[in-house]
Every structure is written in structure tokens, then in C-alpha cells.
Structure 1
Amino acid sequence: MKFFATAVMLLSVAAANASAHKLPLDHGPRATSTPWVNQHIRDREATHAGAKR
């Protein structure tokens, strides 16, 4: 029982940390349902735009 309580506590701490790092939703034309994918796309486009200059 102690193991189960510890596991639940660790999962709740992990969930709290994950919610603290959420990125704002992107509603642009290339938006996906995952904010981390949106950020990756924006970073990649910014990198390519910087390389063209």
C-alpha cells in the first residue's frame, strides 16, 4: 500500500510539473493539437529564415 501511495504522489508531482511548462495554443494555419509540435515548427521556420539572410 505504501508503494501505491508513493507512486500516486510521484505521478501527481510529474503532472504538476508538466502543466507548468505548457505553451500557449497556436491557432495559426499550421497549428497542430500539440503545443510542443507548434513550437518545434516555429523554431524550425525561424532557423530556416535566418539561414536565408
Structure 2
Amino acid sequence: MDVVLKTDRAVFNYRGAGIWINNEHVLLHKFVNDVFGHFQGAELQLPKNRKKVKCK
């Protein structure tokens, strides 16, 4: 189940991103013609059995 928050005026799809830092450099995703980069992300999902969720 995707994490989606719906209101009368809007729909918000919750997304997460991983950040990789190596030797003081940050890994970003960038399309060929873009002048900026962004973190690679994905939609988050709730687990089917929430009792098995572990916090790290």
C-alpha cells in the first residue's frame, strides 16, 4: 500500500530518498540536459503486516 495523503484540495504522495556520501561527495541523479541534480527516490509503502516492522 503506497503512502498517500488525500485532502479536499490536494493529494500528497509520500516519497523517500537515500543519500550516499563518500569522501565528502554526494551521489546525485542528473538527466543529460539538466543543470541540477537530485536525490534518487521512490514511493514508500506500508508493510502488509505492521506488527513485523522494525525500527533501526
More helix as a share of residues = 1
Give the structure with the higher percent strand.
Answer: 2
Q: Please state which band the TM-score falls in when normalised by the shorter chain.
A: under 0.3
Larger relative contact order (Cα-Cα within 8 Å, sequence gap ≥ 6): 2
Q: Of the two, which has the highest radius of gyration?
A: 1
TM normalised by structure 1 equals 0.20
In the superposition, the TM-score normalised over structure 2's length comes to 0.19
